[in-house]
Amino acid sequence: MNSRRKTRLWLAIAVLLGIGLTTVLVLYALRSNIDLFYTPGEVIYGKNEDGRKPEVGQRLRIGGMVMPGSVKRDSRSLKVTFKLYDARGVVSVSYEGILPDLFREGQGVVAQGELDAPLHIRAREVLAKHDENYTPPEVKQAMEENHRPNSGEPRS
């Protein structure tokens, strides 16, 4: 093999290795920024048929209804704790910041944060649900499956 072909071969190998390394780094970076959507029941019992539960420390978005009587506000700061429920379970959420105007008990919300303990989410952002037209498809499907009207007292 002449030197020109060797040079081209090494250049092609270097380019392929560079593309492979770039792909691995991009996928690794994206993996750490993914926030998966869960309902309270999926946090407790697992998601889908494989029963995958989120791990403590995992970033996630959780959607549910604010349990009436569960909102506790700290009078000295902007700290708020509340419980989210669906037809299958209840989880607690803590948040520090200004809540949306539409936030209230019995209202659907999505909290984005990380799982602090098996049934506790430390939220960085709380979004109040305001109109069915703006609901993401996975949230709408989960809400339809888990929030039946007059389903009685939620289970814990």
Range with lowest mean pLDDT among 1-15, 48-62, 115-129: 48-62
Range with lowest mean pLDDT among 5-9, 29-33, 90-94, 134-138: 134-138
CA distance linking residue 84 with residue 29, whole number of Å: 30
pLDDT at 29: 80
Instruction: Tell me how many degrees the CA angle 153-38-111 measures, rounded to the nearest 5.
Output: 85
R_g of the chain computed on alpha carbons: 22
Whole-model pTM: value is 0.64
Q: Is the pLDDT of residue 64 over 80?
A: yes
Percent of the chain with pLDDT over 90: 37
**How sure is the predictor about 152, in pLDDT bands with cuts at 50, 70 and 90?**
very low
DSSP one-letter string for 100-123? PTT--TT-EEEEEEEEEETTEEEE
- Average pLDDT, whole number, for the chain? 83
CA distance linking residue 142 with residue 42, whole number of Å: 10
Q: Where are the domains of the chain?
A: 1-33, 36-146
Architecture of domain 36-146: Beta Barrel (2.40)
State both tokens at 9: 């071969």
**How sure is the predictor about 156, in pLDDT bands with cuts at 50, 70 and 90?**
very low
**How sure is the predictor about 21, in pLDDT bands with cuts at 50, 70 and 90?**
very high
Pairing mode, strands 120-128 and 90-96: parallel
Range with lowest mean pLDDT among 31-40, 111-120, 127-136, 142-151: 142-151
**How sure is the predictor about 15, in pLDDT bands with cuts at 50, 70 and 90?**
very high
Determine contact, residues 64/109, Cβ cutoff 8 Å. Answer: yes
Mean pLDDT across 89-102: 91
